């Protein structure tokens, strides 16, 4: 095992101000093990007393080699890797991946599967925002938020367990549809959630939104202007809080998002508080989409009938020789994809989650690139913390909602 490298100022000379070299300002290491960096992020801070002069993020402590590992697997098997990428948004990652595969091999998806995809990704968005709300509450010393948010999150995880058998790493969406149809209890579970959740959002808001301590810590902290946000490639709620109305669900509807009536919450202030408000509003909008999608959910098959890419159901294998052959071929060899590349993007709770998939004519991808939103969102951190207190840094970091698995891949 290699040793921890000693940090010498020589290496960071071009990144810190001249005052650090004379010892006038102090260099401080924050992380990789720190309760408020939300994982294993390391920040090198240059401090003038309590004021942050420079902030240099150091990432890679969770580098998992997902891109390389996906290249070594067939298209079906590579999907399990995407779950573990941004672990707050597992359904969304699956969606991005299966959409890229479907685009690459030109596969169509039945309407019921599309509806289920929408319901589950929106529930996942709610779950992800709940974790964000809980942990950022924790960072600002609102312990009860954490307990409340996880209470509701458990309910969503129970729904996921119902449909896929797993709480987090669901791998429920498959190229050409979903794994299998939802059980009968599904509708009731979702309806129960729709019924109680609006009251719960009001409860969170009554604890935080008008709370003077909370407002003091959030308003006018970490201002991110529209221009800087675009320059740094920030997407998602952080971009919308800076006044840019850009949501892939509206701009380039996929999975039939165009049928549903929802708003894209935007703010113009661009500070930490605005980012908080945008996410709270998104909770309500997502719930609206879930309800509409559930009401409209059509009956019918949940998987494409294209046997070149989609394995036949169990019931067919016993009676049809052809189905058996397809099953065998698909699970041993996989399906070939054309020698071309596609880029497909979805709106994850953190922003544009893009997937560049390049096939080489065989059953394994030649290259998978994951354009993960947190990577760029973290890049802007060093710009927006300058001049704030160290305590505010924690609030700002919480407000841009990073997930380290998403950054390091």
Partner 1 sequence: MDKNLEPIVKNIQEKFGAALEEFREEAHLFLKPEQIVDALTLLRDESNFELLSALTATDYWPQTAPRFHVIYQLTSLEKNLSLQIRVPVNGDSPKVPTVTGIYASANWRERELLDMFGIEVEGHPDPRRILMPEDHEGHPLRKDYPLGYEEPQFSFNYDEIDLRKPYAKE
Partner 2 sequence: MGVEQKLGNMGVVTTTLETMVNWSRTNAMWPMLFGLACCAIEMMSAQASSYDMSRFGMELMRASPRQSDLMIVAGRVSKKMGPVLRRLYDQMPEPKWVIAMGDCASCGGVFNNYAIYQGVDEVVPVDVYVAGCPPRPEALIHGVLTVHEKVKGEKFKDLAKS
Provide the binding-site residues for partner 2, judged by CB under 8 A.
1-4, 32-35, 39-40, 60-66, 68-69, 80-81, 84, 87-88, 131, 134-135, 146-148, 150-151, 153-154, 157, 167-169, 404-405, 408
Q: Token pair of 238, please?
A: 């952080």
Q: How far is the CB of 66 from partner 2 (least distance, A)?
A: 8
Nearest one of 67, 59, 44, 39 to 408, comparing CA atoms: 59
Q: Token pair of 195, please?
A: 């019924």
Nearest one of 119, 399, 146 to 280, comparing CA atoms: 399
| Range 366-385, binding partner 1 (CB under 8 A) | 366-367, 369, 371, 375-376, 379
Q: Token pair of 169, please?
A: 């790493």
Q: How far is the CB of 323 from partner 1 (least distance, A)?
A: 29
Contact 331, 320 (CB under 8 A): no
d(CA 294, CA 291): 5
Q: Is 308 helix (H, G, I), strand (E, B) or coil?
A: coil
With respect to partner 1, which residue has the nearer C-beta, 283 or 404?
A: 404
Residue 179 sits in the site that holds partner 1 (CB under 8 A): no
343 binds, among partner 2, partner 1, none (CB under 5 to 8 A by kind): partner 1
Residue 79 sits in the site that holds partner 1 (CB under 8 A): no
d(CA 131, CA 133): 5
Residue 292 sits in the site that holds partner 1 (CB under 8 A): no
Q: Helices 111-139 and 90-105 meet at what angle, rounded to 10?
A: 140
103 binds, among partner 1, partner 2, none (CB under 5 to 8 A by kind): partner 1
CA angle 9–14–17, rounded 5-degree value = 80
With respect to partner 2, which residue has the nearer C-beta, 21 or 28?
A: 28
Q: Token pair of 246, please?
A: 């850009």
Interface map 100-129 toward partner 1 (x if CB under 8 A): ---xx-x-----------------------
Cα-based torsion angle of the residue sequence 363, 364, 365, 366 in order, rounded to the nearest 10 degrees: -110
Residue 310 sits in the site that holds partner 1 (CB under 8 A): no
**Considering only residues 21, 24, 192, 343, which one is a binding residue for partner 1 as defined by CB under 8 A?**
343
| Range 34-73, binding partner 1 (CB under 8 A) | 59-60, 63, 65, 67-69, 72
Q: Which residues of 21-35 are buried (b: 16+ CB within 10 A; e: fewer)?
A: eeeebebeebbbeee
Give the binding site for partner 1 (CB under 8 A): 2, 5, 11, 14-15, 59-60, 63, 65, 67-69, 72, 103-104, 106, 228, 230-233, 235, 244, 246, 251-252, 340-343, 345, 352, 354, 356, 358, 366-367, 369, 371, 375-376, 379, 408-409
């Amino acid at each position: 095992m290699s040793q921890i490298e000693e940090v010498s100022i020589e290496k960071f000379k071009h990144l810190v101000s001249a005052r650090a070299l004379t010892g006038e300002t102090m260099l401080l290491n924050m992380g990789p093990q720190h309760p408020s960096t939300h994982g294993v992020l390391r920040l090198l801070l240059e401090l003038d007393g309590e004021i942050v002069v420079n902030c240099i993020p150091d990432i890679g402590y969770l580098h998992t080699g997902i891109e390389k590992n996906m290249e070594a697997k067939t298209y079906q098997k590579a999907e399990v890797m995407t779950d573990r990428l941004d672990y707050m948004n597992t359904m969304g990652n699956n969606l991005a991946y299966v959409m890229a595969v479907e685009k690459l091999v030109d596969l169509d998806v039945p309407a019921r599967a599309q509806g289920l995809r929408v319901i589950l990704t929106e529930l996942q968005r709610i779950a992800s925002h709940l974790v964000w709300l809980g942990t950022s509450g924790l960072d600002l010393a609102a312990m009860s938020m954490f307990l409340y948010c996880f209470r509701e999150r458990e309910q969503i995880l129970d729904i996921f367990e119902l449909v896929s058998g797993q709480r987090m790493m669901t791998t429920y969406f498959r190229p050409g549809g979903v794994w299998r149809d939802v059980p009968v209890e599904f509708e009731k579970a979702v309806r129960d959630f729709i019924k109680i959740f609006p009251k719960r959002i009001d409860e969170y808001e009554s604890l935080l939104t008008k709370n003077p301590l909370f407002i003091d810590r959030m308003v006018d902290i970490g201002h991110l202007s529209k221009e800087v946000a675009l320059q740094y490639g920030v997407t998602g709620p952080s971009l919308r809080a800076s006044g840019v109305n850009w949501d892939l669900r509206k701009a380039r509807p996929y999975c039939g998002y165009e049928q549903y009536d929802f708003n894209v919450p935007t703010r113009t202030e661009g500070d930490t508080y605005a980012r908080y408000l945008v996410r709270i509003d998104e909770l309500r909008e997502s719930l609206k989409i879930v309800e509409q999608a559930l009401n409209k959910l059509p009956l019918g098959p949940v998987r494409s009938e294209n046997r070149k890419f989609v394995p036949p159901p169990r019931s067919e294998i016993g009676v049809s020789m052809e189905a058996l052959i397809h099953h065998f071929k698909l699970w041993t060899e996989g399906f070939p994809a054309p020698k071309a590349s596609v880029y497909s993007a979805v709106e994850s709770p953190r922003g544009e989650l893009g997937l560049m998939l390049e096939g080489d004519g065989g059953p394994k991808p030649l290259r998978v690139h994951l354009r993960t939103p947190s990577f760029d969102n973290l890049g802007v951190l060093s710009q927006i913390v300058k001049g704030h207190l160290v305590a505010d840094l924690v609030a700002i970091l919480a407000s841009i909602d990073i997930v380290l698995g998403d950054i390091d891949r």
